[in-house]
Structure 1
Amino acid sequence: MQKTETQVALNVAHAGAAASALPGRGQLTSLPSAHQDGLKGPTRFLISDLLGELEAYLPCEQVSEVYRAYLFGAEAHQGQERQSGEPYIYHPIAVARILAEMRMDYKGLMAAILHDVIEDTPTAKESLADTFGEDVAELVDGVSKLTQIDFPSRAEAQAASFRKMMLAMTRDIRVILIKLADRLHNMRTLDAMMPAKRRRISRETLEIYAPIANRLGINRIRLDLEDLGFRHHWPWRHAVLSRTVRDKLHGRREMVTTVKETLRARLQAEGIAAEVFGREKHLYSIYRKMSAKRRSFEDMVDVFGFRVIVDSVDTCYRVLGQVHDLYKPVPGRFKDYIAIPKSNGYQSLHTGLIGPQGVPIEIQIRTADMHRLAESGIAAHWMYKSAGEASGPQAAAKDWLQDLLEVQRDSGDSQEFLEHVKVDLFPDEVYVFTPKGRILVLPMGATVVDFAYAIHSDVGNTCVAARIDRRLASLRTPLRSGQTVEIITAPGAKPNAAWLNFVVTGKARASIRSYLKNLKNREAQALGQRMLTAELAAFGLTLEQIGEPRILAHAVESGLDNSARLFAEIGLGNRIPMLIARRLVGPAEPVPGGEVAASAGVRESDASGRGARRLAIRGTEGMVVHFARCCRPIPGDPITGLFSAGKGIVVHRNECGNLGDFHSKRDKWIEVEWAEDPQAEFQTEIRVDAGNRRGALATIATAIAEQDSNIENVNSREKDGTTTTLDFLVNVTGRKHLAGIMRRLRQIPAVTRIVRLSNAGRLREGFGKRR
């Protein structure tokens, strides 16, 4: 059979002359290939090396397409060099080689070779799409950073690029595989960078990329990223720990051999076919455990590990029985990840034992399929097509990507999204059950609220309590592995901002924040509408009289999408309602009585002598009306509202010292008053001086409770040898309610003085003890 043009080209490439077909790039094949030691030095892979690897599993036509992508990339990067001084094209070839070891498909390999052309060369995405197809162009674009947009800081730029990449990953998982291979080769060549940059990149690798590899079950890449990140971020610690482990292993080499031979002999005697391997604990794993648990190296119980690989799940449990018969198991050190896999699909039996000479050891028992999936994770889909789409890591990755989409939807900006993703990359997990027996995997420290949001966002939004193993529990209760959790919901329930203080999953945090932001926006719109209505009253007009078209036109002129956004901006304190009202009315708008509205200065009354309506404060405005803590106003107090950008209105008592000369800043305040029937409770502080008598605090607290008031906080200090000062933060409905509480406290014999506090502890009003 005659050779095709493609086959001839490949043969030329294998002979080491393919790159010479490109002018000026012949030097790419003039250097010999180097073998890789992940922690010692970079690899210089030639295109001939890569093509030789691809021939083992790809059709000739697809290998030719990869080579075509190489020619395009070599020309695009012509003249560019890496920090080490070598031609830039070495890097894309090495990235593609890493992916070839995972048996990546040819389009993924083409994207790997081209992954920097959009970011680092003038090549446009459209040009790639025309030359190599839309799939390859989308993959390359997904990996490329956002370089065309100016960001205020490096952190925001990195977060935005990360968000872009993660969203591209939800559409095509190959995006993150290319990025992981790119990061791995960069870490292998990081010695060429300055120390500060090495530390920054290593920290990012340890915090983001190694956990992502772990989350996707790609153990082989995770281990390399962690060890390289550890070595570059803490070089001295890495060197010391590496030497210590090496010395320890050298002294225990005979013990490791003894355990392997003993295990093999026992399993062979029982007729169990198995492979037994000895291994030392991963360096970064040892360091992380020592750091988290504050242990010395001598206290580590699983520095030496052994792995037994068998043919079936049933055999795994048979091996476990034999292992426990050989060596004494350590209580609490057995984990069955076969029955309950990890969140990334990992399956294995782990057991801690006391080995020969009293040395602690760990043995992992798994099938060959489990071992393959443990090493390759989501990449096993390309390595072994028989694994199918529904295998453990693939199913786990699909669930995680779905959660990422929900987190992205609920996140306000890129940095918030990055924060949520980091939270979800924590490796420690708890396994809990729904009432129907479904297993949910959550991060360590997850609470009932995290569990509720893991089921569904609507369940989380309306949860009010839970039953853990059939016993009632609060929403903030931390969960433990093995518990069965039933969520109790109520139709009118809503998320609470206080939940953000204890939830740990990114999905829960993003959902709560999104709900609160939307709630705040709705409240801001309602408040802004009321504020603008109050200002228009000075001109004898209403919003209906102004009309939606005119309001919308002003909103668009102000750079806003619609009138709702305008109202929200007013309610949040970002725009002054008085100025907007004047612009809506116009410079000389007639009002009832024939007068002309003022266009500047202090607001004028209309012809009837009626001024603008004051904004009525009900106490139910939500997150856009705040009550100043310095003076803690309550219904009945004369009050003033100050604008606070992003927050809305902050209500102060008129006599509050923190107001300053606010009358001189007319655009900073708004006239407010209490509604006739405020529908809320308000906090205020009272100071009680009482004699040092046993039970005095309990008596005073009981008296406050009798007046239908709740004590939010109490602080006490001894004033002198005979008197104690008690500061109470109490809830009241108004001045009348407060007066009733203070009258009741005056009747207590131990009480000598009662005052209401204002302005961070200054006395404003009070009652002495009548004698």
Structure 2
Amino acid sequence: MDVDDLIALVRNYNPRTNEDLIRRAYEYGCRMHEGQFRQSGEPYFTHPVAVAAILTEMRLDDATIVTALLHDTIEDTRSTWAEVSDLFGRDVADLVDGVTKLTNLQLSGAHSKQAENFRKLFVAMSRDLRVILVKLADRLHNMRTIRSMRPEKQAQKARETMEIFAPLAGRMGMQWMREELEDLAFKVLNPEARNSIIRRFVVLQKENGDVIPQITADIRAALETEGIDAAVFGRAKRPYSVWRKMQEKQLSFSRLSDIYGFRIITGTDPDCYRALGVIHRKWRTVPGRFKDYISQPKSNGYRSIHTTVSARDGTRVEVQIRTRAMHEVAEAGVAAHWAYRDGVRSRNPFAVDPGEWLTSLTERFGEEDHDAFLEAVKLEMYQDQVFCFSPKGDVIQLPKGATPIDFAYAIHTRLGNACVGAKVDGIRVPLWTRLKNGQGVEIIAAAGQRPQATWLDIVVTGRAKAAIRRSLREEDRSRFIRLGSELLRVAFEHVNRKITDKALRTAARALALTDADELLARVGAAELSAQRVVGALYPDLTPPADEIDAGRAVAGLQADQEFNRAPCCNPLPGERIVGVTYRGKGVVIHAIDCPVLADFESQPERWVDLRWREGRHPAVYTVPLSLTIRHDAGVLGRICTLIGAQGANISDLEFQDRKPDFYRLRVEICLRDAEHLHALMTALEAESDVAQVARIRDSSATV
């Protein structure tokens, strides 16, 4: 596409466009990328131009179009922010810089790094939403041309698209982009399934004819009879959408309903409901398949009426009914905020600013709560919504699968913390009940009630999970401080040092913590190892440099493969191991006698022959032990001392059973290897206060 064609696309919706600005940006980008080529062999600049063309479909402003043309210049050419700012203005330079930073974020890979980068992504988006619009268009064009990449690169980009960019486009209200991104990724990740569904569509069309124009004509005729002016469109749903429904409902293609979708676009809200009446009078409705998102819009601004009916020859079809203004938001989403018509930004009354959602997410979690932030983002991006009513008639919007506890926290944190029960539509229900659309919910609260740890497995909203964790941390803080003090005492004695208040304050400063209590609490909560605290004060006492790097402890992996220890058996150096490949999780290593391996006997292609490297390993490999000890003063302290004396470290400790004469504990110990474990268990078994010690292996633990 040459510059005149691009300007013509912009002029179609914005006659007042600054043609000179776009022309200069086109020429500058072409000059900067001169000599660069894509994997397909095409000149590289064809990509920025294609991204700009995608954005013209959303009728975006000149600055965004220019950003698309220049979005790779700062990253891939000799261009600089200062030069772009001088030539095209600071607004464009900041947008290009924002897209560059998003491109450099590694959104797949190690979980902790992914979580941290997710926060950076959302902070950048909250500053200017046009940044994510350019990035989504960039990803869309890359997925459209992905076949020129190496197979492993295709798989990585497709997974990233399916897990991050497609749901994000959906949360931004850009449903058409979400569907295309999902289907393009599906084509890479599961081509056999996609081709199978396409073949089924072809067979269905041969058997029944092309039902889409037939049903479209039926709907138009019925609406015209009632004098309703409306546009009607029909289409078969995308292969990935069909496949996902087959998986969710565990149905075969032949039993799947509503694989065809139809849209009725009216002029006014009353016409939407009139059209609904026409459809319901003409065809029989499918029970439980009616949703009114006009009276209860989705959080991303989506408004429409959805109904499913048995149409011509009993074919089940989904019908969506909405006005033209609602349709613009349904298609463009956040882009409707920036869309231009006739040279001016068009204000759509139904467009919702997702900036409020972004800001609330980034403000709700502390700077270090990366994992909680990632969990909340994914929950809110992936799940659909339900709407429930408070006793005062307020509408509370929650993700699908939400419980009364989520409802309570959505109203106020204090109400969630004090929740002891709930009534749904006047009937007392358990707190784990999954709420449904339109239900009335009343929360029963009691003074002095505190959140339970089991609630974390019940709730689904990030807000509820964050509040519960915060409350549990506060409640357990004193217990964690006592446990942390004991763990650090043992760790200090192990290096022949004494723990003092001054040493704790110095270590807290060295680790950028507020005070000694914060240090002790983090050690007790297993958020910080006692070894790291000792290392902060006495770096010369840290493990010798000839220890094997824990990240390279396994031989037999390919250069780019990562490994994780299976939680079912927690293999240690010195034990025979085998690797099993998992999609998206690299290689997971199991002990050779792990019962879980029986599940993979029919999949030998997933097995990887591995072995531990020989040499001294660091004591970083956790193994859970079950300990039954005498209930008496000082016993736990002596057991902790004994474990420390064996050169091991306690990373977690949980009381599982408390009786008048004994305690049963689950203790996670950091060990070097299998010999280290044997020596520790022998020492514990010889202790008179220990009634039983056993290694825990849990075949139900998931990878």
Normalising by structure 1, what TM-score?
A: 0.65
> 2: CA distance between counterparts of 1:177 and 1:122?
25
| Alpha-carbon distance between aligned partners in 1 of 2:405 and 2:98, rounded to the nearest angstrom | 33
State the match for 1:400 in structure 2. 357
Cα deviation for residue 735 of structure 1 reads: 6.5
SS at match of 1:481: coil
Conserved in 2, the CA contact under 8 Å of 1:170 and 1:401? yes
User: Cα gap change, 1:132/1:455 in structure 2, threshold over 3 Å: closer, same or farther?
Assistant: farther
* Matched AA of 1:308: I
Which one-letter code corresponds to 1:759 in the other structure? V
- Counterpart CA distance in 2 for 1:121 and 1:553 is 47
Aligned twin of 1:747: none
Contact 2:13 / 2:340 at 8 angstroms: preserved in 1? no
1:486 maps to which residue? Answer: 442
Structure 1's 492 and 95: CA in aligned 2 closer, same or farther, altered over 3 A? farther
1:94 alignment partner in structure 2: 50
Q: Does 1:233 align with 2:233?
A: no
Partner of 1:743: none
Q: Is 1:313 the counterpart of 2:269 in the alignment? A: yes
SS in structure 1 at match of 2:23: helix
The superposition leaves residues 347-380 of structure 1 with CA deviations (integer Å, 9 ceiling, x where unpaired) of 2222222222222223222222222222112212
Matched, 1:62 2:18: yes
Q: Aligned pair in 2 of structure 1 residues 410, 454: CA closer, same or farther (>3 Å)?
A: farther
Q: Which residue of 2 aligns with 1:630?
A: 626
Are the counterparts in 2 of residues 634 and 683 from structure 1 also a CA contact under 8 Å? no
Name the aligned partner's letter for residue 214 of structure 1: G
The aligned residue for residue 586 of structure 2 is none
Residue 554 of structure 1, CA deviation: 5.9
Q: Does 1:574 align with 2:570?
A: no
**Alignment of 1:412 onto 2:408:** no
Tell me, yes or no, if the aligned pair for 2:107 and 2:118 is still in contact at 8 Å: no
CA contact (8 A) 1:555 1:563 kept: yes
TM-superposed CA distance for 1:406, in Å, is: 4.1
Question: CA separation of 1:471/1:275 partners in 2, compared to 1, >3 Å: closer, same or farther?
Answer: same
Q: Which amino acid aligns with 2:361?
A: L
Residues 409 and 115 from structure 1, CA distance in 2 versus in 1: closer, same or farther, beyond 3 angstroms? farther
Q: After superposition, what is the alpha-carbon deviation per residue over 1:213-269, rounded to whole angstroms, capped at 9, x for unaligned?
A: 222221221222122122222222222212321342354346444433333333222
Alpha-carbon contact 2:155-2:189 (below 8 Å) kept: yes
Structure 1 distance, partners of 2:268, 2:285, is 23
CA change 1:637–1:524 in 2 (3 A) is closer
TM-score, normalising length: structure 2: 0.71
- Go from structure 1 to structure 2 and tell me whether the alpha carbon gap of 1:277 and 1:177 turns closer, same or farther (over 3 Å shift): same
Say whether the 8 Å CA contact 1:462–1:489 is kept in structure 2.
yes
Aligned residue among 419, 443, 448 for 1:463: 419
The aligned runs of 1:201-280 (5 Å cut-off) are 201-253=157-209, 255-280=211-236
Query: Could you say which residue in structure 2 is the equivalent of 1:641?
Result: 637
Contact in 2 for aligned 1:280/1:303 (Cα 8 Å): yes
Indicate the residue corresponding to 1:296 in structure 2.
252
SS of 1:301's equivalent in the other structure is coil
Q: Is the 8 A contact 1:531 1:577 kept in 2?
A: no
Aligned equivalents of 2:533, 2:111: Cα separation in 1:
38
Q: In the TM superposition, what are the counterparts of 1:546-625 in structure 2 within 5 Å?
A: 552=505, 555-556=508-509, 562-568=515-521, 571=524, 574-575=529-530
Give the aligned partner of residue 693 of structure 2: 759
Closer, same or farther in 2 for the Cα pair 1:64/1:457, shift >3 Å? Answer: farther
Aligned counterparts of 1:113 and 1:157: Cα–Cα separation in 2: 30
| Distance in 2 of aligned mates of 1:150 and 1:334 | 41
For residue 445 of structure 1, report the CA deviation from its aligned partner.
1.5
Q: CA deviation at 1:187?
A: 0.7
CA–CA separation in structure 2 for the residues paired with 1:461 and 1:147: 40
1:767 aligned residue:
none
The amino acid across from 1:405 in the alignment is T
Q: 1:457 to 1:127 in 2, by over 3 A?
A: farther
CA separation of 1:635/1:214 partners in 2, compared to 1, >3 Å: closer, same or farther? same
**Could you report, residue by residue, the CA deviation over 1:502-551 in whole angstroms, capped at 9, with x for unpaired residues?**
222233334434554566667545665688899999xxxx99xx887x86
Compare CA radii of gyration and give the structure with the larger one.
1
Aligned residue number for residue 179 of structure 1: 135
Per the alignment, do residues 52 and 174 of structure 1 end up closer, same or farther by CA in structure 2, a change over 3 Å counting? same
What aligned pairs does 1:442-461 form with structure 2 within 5 A after superposition? Answer: 442-461=398-417
Q: CA offsets, 1:152-197, max 9 Å, x none?
A: 9566555544432222112222122111111110111101012222
- Provide the rounded CA distance (Å) in 2 between the counterparts of 1:276 and 1:253: 20
One-letter amino acid of the structure 1 residue matched with residue 168 of structure 2: I
Alignment of 1:361 with 2:295, yes or no, is no
2:565 maps to what in 1?
A: none
Do the aligned residues in 2 keep the contact of 1:634 with 1:682 (CA within 8 Å)?
no
Name the structure 2 match of 1:672. none
Secondary structure of the structure 2 residue equivalent to 1:508: helix
Verify the 8 A CA contact 2:408 2:443 in the aligned structure 1: yes
The aligned counterpart of 1:613 is none
Structure 2 alignment gaps of length 5 or more: 539-623, 664-689, 697-703
2:17, 2:216 → 1: CA distance? 46
Question: Residue 376 of structure 2 aligns to a residue in which SS?
Answer: helix
Q: Decide whether the 8 Å contact of 1:54 with 1:63 is kept in 2.
A: no
Aligned ranges 1:334-353 → 2 under 5 Å: 334-353=290-309
Distance 2:22 2:163 in 1: 33
Q: Hey, what does 1:112 align to over in structure 2?
A: 68
Contact 1:114 1:140 in 2 (8 A): yes
Residues 462 and 377 (structure 1), Cα distance of their counterparts in 2 relative to 1, 3 Å cut: same
Please give the secondary structure, in 1, of the residue aligned with 2:321.
Answer: strand
Instruction: Report what 1:441 is aligned to.
Output: 397
Matched letter for residue 198 of structure 1: Q
Residues 1:50 and 1:491: Cα distance change in structure 2 (over 3 Å): farther
Do the aligned residues in 2 keep the contact of 1:632 with 1:683 (CA within 8 Å)? no
Q: Take 1:99 and 1:209, find their aligned partners in 2: how far apart are those partners? A: 16
Letter in 2 for 1:117: T
What is the CA-CA distance between 1:634 and the residue it aligns to?
5.7
Letter in 2 for 1:401: L
Indicate conservation of the 8 Å contact 2:290/2:308, yes or no.
Answer: yes
Which of structures 1 and 2 has the larger relative contact order (alpha carbons within 8 angstroms, sep 6+)?
A: 2
Of stretches 563-572 and 116-125 in structure 1, the one that deviates more from structure 2 is 563-572
Identity score, percent: 41
- Residue 102 of structure 2 contacts residue 135 of structure 2 at CA under 8 Å; is this kept in 1? no
Q: Which amino acid aligns with 1:574?
A: S
- Segments of 5+ residues of structure 1 without an aligned counterpart are 1-44, 584-627, 643-650, 670-680, 685-730, 737-755, 763-771
Partner-residue secondary structure (3-state), 1:377:
helix
1: distance between equivalents of 2:510 and 2:307? 69
> Which residue of the partner structure matches residue 705 of structure 1?
none
Aligned-residue CA RMSD (Å): 4.3
> 2:635 and 2:412 mapped to 1: Cα distance?
43
State the partner residue of 1:708.
none
Letter in 2 for 1:197: K
Give the match for residue 587 of structure 1: none
Aligned length in residues: 581
Counterpart residue identity of residue 758, structure 1: Q
Q: What SS is found at the alignment partner of 1:279? A: strand
2:616 aligns to what? none
**More deviation, 355-364/122-131:** 122-131
- CA distance in 1 between partners of 2:478 and 2:83 (Å): 45
